[in-house]
Amino acid sequence: MSDDGLTPERWARVLDLFSAALERSGAERQAFIDAAGAADPALAREVRSLLDAHERGGPVPDPEPAATPLPPSLQWVGPYRLLRELGRGGMGTVYLVERTGEGFTQTAALKLLRADFADPRMAARLTAERRILARLEHPGIARFIDGGTTGAGQPYVAMEHVAGTPLLAYCARQRLALHDRLALFVEICDAVQYAHSQLVVHRDLKPGNILVTAEGHPKLLDFGVAKILDDSAPEAGLTHTGLWATPAYASPEQMRQEPVTTLTDVYALGVILYELLTGRLPYRVEAGSVAEMVRVVCEVIPDRPSVAVARAEDEVPVRGFTAEVMTTGSRSRARALARRLSGDLDTITLKALAKAPGRRYQSVEQLAEDIRRYLDGHPVLARPDSIGYRASKFVHRHRLAVTAAALLGLSLIGGVGATLWQASAARRERDRAADALRQSEDVTTFLLDLFQVADPRSTPGDTVAGRAILRQGLARVDELRDQPAVQASMLDALGMVLVSIGHNERARELVERGLRLRQQIFGPAHLDVAESLRHLARVQRAQGEYADADTALRQAMAIEEAALGPDHPRLAETLSEHGFLLPYLARDPEPPYRRALEIRRRALGPDHPLVGTSMGLVAGAARWKGDLPRAETLWRETLAFRRRVRGAEHADVAEAMLHLGDLLAYRGVTGEAERLFREALAVQRRTIGAEHPQLAHGLGSLAALLASRGEFAEAESLLRESLAIQLHLFGPDHSGVAGSFDALARLALRQGRLAQAESLQRVGLATWRRAVGPEHSATAGSMGNLADILAARGRYDEAERLVRDAIAIRAARHGPGHPLVAVMWLQIAHFRLAQRDYAAVERLARDALDLFAAVGFASTHERVLEANSLLAEALKRVGG
């Protein structure tokens, strides 16, 4: 043999020369070999012998003599110059190409179809279709530019080159949440629907044909291309479909080679939706033969997406895009996702995946519409409409909340281990606790945000919807039994909503349930337990159970300080809550307010808005103690601070103006006070709206000021406005409404319209009793107001009895040595003074003064001044 002694190196030289010679022909080839052979005749002989064998052929055939997908010499396809390969698929190879014309250069993606797909009819098909395809102009569709055949008869399609990420990879990479996946899917549907309106069916929709741009919008590739292929080579049929395309997205009618319609695309979209929701395909097309694949696609009913997700953790991930990506792997998260999918999303997906085209959505538009309805919380079309269903739909946003809460809450269980609480004050532990706290606050904030719609203060005029949502929340909270941590968060959040609308007893019940649950789950010293205790204290304060509230807050603070250290803003919050409470217990609120202020300054920075909040609380404490000059200074500082960090147009600024105005009005500086009141009201109307409960303060203060100047008409119209707002927002059984009646009664009393005052005050008292209960401190205050009116009408005995009842209530609530009780002694002193019982007046005034001194009221406190003047009057009368 001539190749005896042929080495790999020599063979490589032979091959080089052989290949180079093949590119030449005739005389040129002979000359080329002669030249090469001049130095090495044996090499030339070898190459000639191979060339002979090449020409002659032999037992080893060339399996595709006509198939030359892209010879190196082929630099152009039609008018397009090939730049580089973009990718390959079963159908052929995609190149980035460039087309240069007069004054323009256009880049495009060119799909060069496999030569063995070529069919004489394909060229004709392309010509017919390309005009239709070129008409497709939609932002979600890669534009069809051109189609034709190469000189060698190889078909090609040129389309807009899209720089994007394939759909599933995009979702995984961006960790797209369910909502965002659905939004993206709707965009995809819109593009398909548009094409359908232009009478173009895609036929080969799959995630790989959908790219997502950097801006997050989908672009669909290859519209109409499959039709060209199918129609041109019907006899290629299923064999090709089965072997060259993934059958996973094919519809049953496609697998059976039945006519393809727009409903075929609906089916493929259903598969894509299924994959987007669950991270897996609706069924495994895994068995061997084509017949088996047909059977699977045509017969296997997919699991509901929620079921598929729920058992996702047991299975092998699909395509590297797993349910894990969506659920971060945890079993509980998978279950939480399953909850979100079960119901509407299950129904929608399976309707799109109906085996019989007639049972599917009859258009892509309908499918997209149902997804939109789901996203908006409206009833979806995919299920029979019943009243019960629509009712549940009404509160759909809440259901999302529960499920989302399930997601968040479950991460809490994982994140906040019981071990956390073995924590000493070690710094690292503290940081971990702070992390856990953030998560926990996220849950509550999130829940409260969702429920704000149920809190009339945040959505004035929408209380009906709000309360319906609340009802649903209450109804559903028991369904969270298997997720106690989430259930506890929900109970807590619902309790806070209820207390904000004055449903204190129900609120107490829920918050206490939440507390008990959290104690069971996390142990007694967990931050979530502290949160529950803080909220319980708020409810107890609203219920007038101040001593219990005090105990709860102290427990909460101890937990928080141990976990987070003494300087955490969370502690500042609980300290402030304690500050709110202390006056009810006749104790000075300033120390906790001050400490909260210092914590906030250190932890949040000197210009944080919460620093301004704390400044106002400290100022309020000074006011409470009657240190009026200091209170005025502090309020002026607070106002300046808030203006600086909040800007002039902010509700916080208005609040500071109102408090400062109150102080000035008391001092008789009515001009500046009135200006402050009016400006504050204007700011509030612009910032929080003309119908907001916070307006009551300014309206009441301004009305009182105007009444003191005898401007009764405007005062009354302001108070009626306030009453109207409260009535509209809260209904007739609310403390705000009761307070408005109190103010109107006072105004009538001041005008000397005693009968009217009495009837207004009786309405006010009845309202208080309904709103906060008959044994509440505020109810007692209203009884005192009525007593004043009765006394003014000369009914002293009746008045005193009423005040003594009120004193009993307050003594029970606050303890007998509380200023709120002493204030009522002064009321009786007034009655006795009018009845000339000076000894009683002296005794009552002295008792009150002793008590005020014990509490720490300043000599400038209005009640101290009042007591002193009563005492002086009594002594004067006795002495005189």
**What's the min distance (Å) between Cβ of 61 and another protein?**
6
Listing DSSP states for 637-703 in one string gives HHHHHHHHHH-SS-HHHHHHHHHHHHHHHHHT-HHHHHHHHHHHHHHHHHHT-SS-TTHHHHHHHHH
The helix (run of H) or strand (run of E) holding residue 631 is: helix 628-646
Which is closer to another protein, CB of 44 or CB of 380? 44
Report phi then psi at 126, rounded to 5.
-55, -45
**How far is the CA of 608 from the CAs of 589, 599, 611, 643, in angstroms?**
22, 11, 5, 12
Residue with tokens 């969370």: 570
Can you tell me whether residue 24 is helix, strand or coil?
A: coil
- CA–CA distance, 463 with 466 (Å, rounded to integer): 5
Name the token pair of 346: 């299950």
Residues contacting 865, CB < 8 A, separation 6+: 859
Q: How far is the CB of 8 from another protein (least distance, A)?
A: 5
**Residue 141 DSSP symbol:** B
Token duo for residue 664: 């000035």
Q: Are β-strands 92-101 and 218-220 bridged in parallel, bridged antiparallel, or unpaired?
A: unpaired
Tell me whether residue 204 is one of the annotated catalytic residues: yes
- Identify which of residues 89 and 216 has a Cβ nearer to another protein in the complex: 89
Structure tokens at 423: 């924590």
Dist. CA 619–CA 627, nearest whole Å: 9
C-beta closer to another protein: residue 82 or 640: 82
Query: Two tokens at 734?
Result: 């609310």
CB 451 within 8 A of CB 494: yes
Host H or E run for residue 822: helix 819-834
Pairing of strands 104-113, 80-89: unpaired
The binding site for another protein (CB under 8 A) comprises: 1, 3, 6-8, 11-12, 14-15, 18-19, 22, 49-54, 56-64, 67-72, 88-90, 93, 114, 116, 242-243, 246-248, 281, 284-290, 293, 316, 318-319
From residue 662, give the alpha-carbon distance in Å to each of 20, 351, 407, 701. 101, 65, 48, 7
CB 243 to another protein: min, Å: 6
DSSP string, 740-756: HHHHHHHHHHHHT-HHH
For another protein, the closer of residues 4 and 102 by Cβ is 4
Nearer of residues 37 and 247 to another protein, judged by Cβ: 247
Please say which residue, 61 or 259, places its beta carbon nearer to another protein: 61
Helices (H), 416-525: 427-451, 463-476, 484-500, 504-522
SS (H, E, C) 254-323: HHCCCCCCHHHHHHHHHHHHHHHHHCCCCCCCCCCCHHHHHHHHHHCCCCCHHHHHHCHHHCCCCCCCCH
Minimum distance of another protein from residue 524's CB (angstroms): 49
119, 146, 204, 627: the active-site residue: 204
The three-point CA angle 652-659-684 to 5° equals 40
| Token pair of 542 as six digits | 């609203």
Tokens standing for residue 623: 């006011």
Closer residue to another protein (CB): 254 or 489: 254
Q: Side by side, which strands form the sheet with 104-113?
A: 76-77, 80-89, 92-101, 104-113, 155-159, 144-149
The token pair at 380 is: 């979806």
Q: CB of 345 within 8 A of CB of 316?
A: no
Nearer to another protein, 89 or 569 (CB): 89
* Residue 362 three-state SS: coil
Catalytic residue numbers read: 204
